[in-house]
Structure 1
Amino acid sequence: MNSERLLVDRAVARIDDPIAVAGNVAGHRARRLIDGTETAFSDPFILMAEDWMPRDAFAKHPHRGIETVTLVLDGAVEHADSGGNEGLLREGDAQWMTAGRGVTHVENALPGTIAHTVQLWVNLAARDKMTAPRYQTLRRARVPVRHEPGAVIRLLSGTSGDVSSDTLNYVPVTAIDATLDAGGSFDQALAPDYNAFVLVLNGEALVGPDETTVRAGALAWLTHGDGSSASKVRIAASAAETRVLLFAGAPLREPIAFGGPFVMNTPSEIKQAFADYRSGRF
């Protein structure tokens, strides 16, 4: 029996394509790709924003209870945090930051420039929310790469085909940055219960067995697996230089409480987070 036939094909469940709005400083624009209003639907993914950020758009600010994944699409971003980590992320570089029990950081475009980025917030399980902060830099030139005809798949986290990443994360996440020629395609295996989405950055993608068209700027949520059978999604390109991000992660199915940059399980934990931050305990 061909084991390929046992895989459940994930299709497109819905497509979101929010407009960009002005940010809180001159020259800042942002799109809220995942807006935090449907956490049970997007679990374990909380928020995702695409930003065109000038310097000082993201001055010193705190986080607790999440991991942030930031990918620089154009320009460069300086990073410095309360754990002593600092550095410069250039086009194609990414960072995986575990806020855990608390971190403050600054994300800055270089003076006189606009940096184009996407940032995803991944929830942490209740048992891991107060873990020690951690910072990982994922350089474009050093991430593992899988090659398929007409497709280059850069692996930021997880496994793709016979290629694996050593990126550390508390919630299992597959994260892919793929570039495809017109007519190129690849299949990505997904765990039965993983929640997944595809964001098309450039070009035009054909996603799933129905080859649903997903245009540049749109985020396509995939159908859920059946919870028991292995699954996959096929991504193809109908335009040259199509670039897609694919994220898939294990849902936590836990209560969520928001408090600005803090994501915990209860309102009392949010109150404590603010108290800890104000008293300098981050």
Structure 2
Amino acid sequence: MEATNVIRRDIKKVWTVNEQKISDIHSVGAILEPGRWEDYDPFLLLMEDKFKKGAFDVHPHRGIETITFVIDGSINHYDSASGAGGSLQKGDLQFMTAGRGVVHNESPADGEQVHLLQLWVNLPREHKMTAPRYQNLPAKDMPVRQEEGALIRVYSGSSGDVVSDTLNYAPVTFVEMLVNGGASIVQDLPGSYNGFIYVLEGSGIFGENKVEAKKGQALWLESADEATMSSIHVAATENLRLVLFAGTPLKEPIAARGPFVMNTAEEITQAYEDYRNGTFIS
């Protein structure tokens, strides 16, 4: 049951994600477009990708965490942090902390296509140069909250009494919701969190102001009092699958270029120098 002192959030805005074809093997939709740092804080960008092997090559990152969620298909990955690879299946998630530097790649098997989301989360200034860390989170191992007509898989943060043990440098909640048509669910969030929803399947009614949204649409949550708890109400008009991301704004300066996100232009220049000089990975 929802506490009486919880602020029930409205939906601030809704937008439709447009898929664009990059090549014969890659299409992309920008759910959170880069550059709106203050609006999306602590999130930097979110892309929905559909691609085959060869769309991406080995590439570096510094100063961020990436959350890669496999909507459909499977993907193989390699990273310099562990020196090993692995695979992610439908519903699996990878939480990568690039920290001071990681080189990695993600690639489907020959002839296969993967459909995934990748979210870039900013690292706090004090942790920009932390040691890289990978957390591979299989869907089958994630804690689950079940209510009548609804299942919430908790990859990071919490939902009701269900708490994930995923490690965060900046607190982030990420849940996947499966809600049967006609059912509803309430997700609790700290009032200080910025957050948004992306609808993967179906349709529903969201927030205290009862905003309608359907597959391929994103919804930004209205802000709440930082000193309180808050909640967002979700009611499915048909079988609904969605993801919800929320986190604490860092309110720090951002300098970004290519795969690097730091606090100053000088730090970005240093990242490129380290990468060219072979000192990027220590």
With the shorter chain as reference, the TM-score category is over 0.9
One-letter code of the match for 1:77? I
Partners of 1:122 and 1:85 in 2: CA distance: 23
Cα distance in 2 for residues equivalent to 1:41 and 1:85: 36
Describe the superposition over 1:64-92 as per-residue Cα deviations: whole angstroms up to 9, x where unpaired. 00000001111111000112131010111
* Structure 2 match to 1:221: 220
Superposition misfits of 4+ residues, deviation over 6 angstroms: none
Q: CA-atom RMSD, angstroms?
A: 1.2
1:204-231 CA distance string (max 9 Å, x none): 0211112211110111000011222211
Helix, strand or coil: the match of 2:50? strand
Residue in structure 2 matched with residue 274 of structure 1 by the alignment: 272
Aligned to 2:142: 143
Rounded Cα–Cα distance in structure 2 between residues aligned with 1:128 and 1:16: 33
The count of aligned residue pairs is 279
How far the C-alpha of 1:3 sits from its partner, in A, is 7.4
The residue that corresponds to 1:252 in the other structure is: 250
Q: TM-score, structure 1 length as denominator? A: 0.96
Instruction: Say if 1:85 and 1:135, in contact at 8 Å, map to a contact too.
Output: no
Q: Which runs of 5+ in 2 are unaligned?
A: none
Could you tell me how far apart the structure 1 residues matched to 2:6 and 2:29 are? 34
Cα distance in 2 for partners of 1:120, 1:17 equals 17
How far apart are the structure 1 equivalents of 2:104 and 2:63?
15
Q: Which residue of 2 aligns with 1:162?
A: 161
Q: Does 1:113 align with 2:117?
A: no
Amino acid at match of 2:29: R
Name the stretch that deviates more: 204-213 or 39-48: 204-213
More displaced stretch, 77-86 vs 130-139: 77-86
Instruction: Measure how far apart 1:124 and its partner are.
Output: 0.3
Q: 2:85 matched to 1:86?
A: yes
How many Å separate the matches in 2 of 1:4 and 1:162? 13
Structure 1: 5+ residue runs without aligned partners? none
1:277 CA displacement: 1.0
One of 258, 263, 266 as aligned partner of 1:265: 263
State the alpha-carbon separation in 2 of the partners of residues 205 and 120 from structure 1. 23
TM-score if structure 2 supplies the norm length?
Answer: 0.96
Tell me, in whole angstroms, the C-alpha distance in 2 between the residues paired with 1:137 and 1:85: 12
1:19 maps onto 2:18 in alignment = yes
Q: Is the 8 A contact 1:152 1:180 kept in 2?
A: yes
CA 1:3–1:106 in 2, change beyond 3 Å: closer, same or farther? closer
Q: Which residue of 2 aligns with 1:47?
A: 45
Q: In 2, Cα distance between the equivalents of 1:193 and 1:219?
A: 20
